[in-house]
């Protein structure tokens, strides 16, 4: 059985992953949290899953590299500096980083990419996401993942096309931009809508998460797949063969 170690093991996602392990042909290799040394878990595990915090990523990557243990990174709110760390670590170990481990969201991103590629720039793209009141980052990692898929389909980058803030007199919408709106409230696990609006018609691609277990199952599936891969940087789409 593949042994999976968890960084952020006492968090909501960490606990959900522990609950899913045995049913998916894996076993728990142990966990580490904010004040714990990440090295023992990295040494005991065949593959790691990280749902902790951006501030802990450097230490977790260092431990994973020292132990030569692959790592799935589901932590959101990462900066460009964090992504540079991941790129560097991928030279030594297999790393899969994603804003969402749901298999449904992974497929949705592929559909968004395809739609954006086939529709002209006069189709406006807007991404709306809603999460529970306790979520601390916005837009969500999933919204950014979907925006990146739309930008890729358009042959551009999210950095060059994204619009995150509309307030006051903003003027008309600029063609080719990708807009984001974030809603927070209640206990919503995660709702995401990608709206492609043309003249006289509109397409909406939607994913709603009804249980945190879908992310846990996807994370375990990603970990089991990653454990067999050589060093490099990977994405959830590759887990599904997309």
Question: Which residue is catalytic, options 135, 192, 207, 228?
Answer: 135
Contact criterion met (CB below 8 Å) for 45 and 29? yes
Is 135 assigned a catalytic role?
yes
Question: Which residue is catalytic, options 60, 82, 131, 192?
Answer: 131
Give the catalytic positions in this structure: 131, 135
């Amino acid at each position: 059985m593949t042994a999976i170690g968890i960084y952020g093991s006492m968090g909501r996602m960490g606990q959900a992953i522990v609950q899913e392990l045995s049913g998916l042909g894996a076993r728990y290799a142990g966990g580490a949290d904010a004040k714990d040394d990440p090295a023992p878990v990295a040494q005991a595990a065949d593959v790691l899953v990280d749902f902790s915090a951006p501030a802990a990523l450097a230490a977790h990557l260092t431990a994973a590299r020292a132990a030569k243990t692959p790592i799935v990174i589901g932590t959101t709110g990462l900066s460009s500096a964090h992504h540079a760390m991941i790129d560097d670590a991928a030279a030594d170990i297999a790393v899969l980083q994603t804003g969402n481990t749901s298999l449904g969201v992974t497929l949705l991103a592929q559909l968004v990419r395809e739609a954006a590629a086939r529709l002209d720039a006069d189709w406006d793209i807007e991404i709306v996401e809603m999460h529970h009141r306790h979520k601390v980052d916005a837009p969500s990692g999933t919204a950014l993942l979907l925006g990146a898929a739309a930008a890729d389909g358009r042959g551009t980058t999210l950095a060059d096309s994204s619009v995150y803030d509309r307030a006051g007199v903003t003027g008309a919408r600029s063609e080719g931009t990708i807009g984001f709106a974030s809603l927070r409230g209640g206990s919503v696990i995660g709702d995401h809508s990608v709206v492609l609006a043309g003249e006289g018609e509109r397409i909406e691609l939607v994913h709603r998460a009804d249980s945190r277990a879908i992310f846990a199952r996807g994370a375990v599936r990603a970990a089991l797949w990653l454990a067999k891969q050589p060093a490099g940087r990977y994405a959830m789409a590759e887990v599904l063969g997309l």
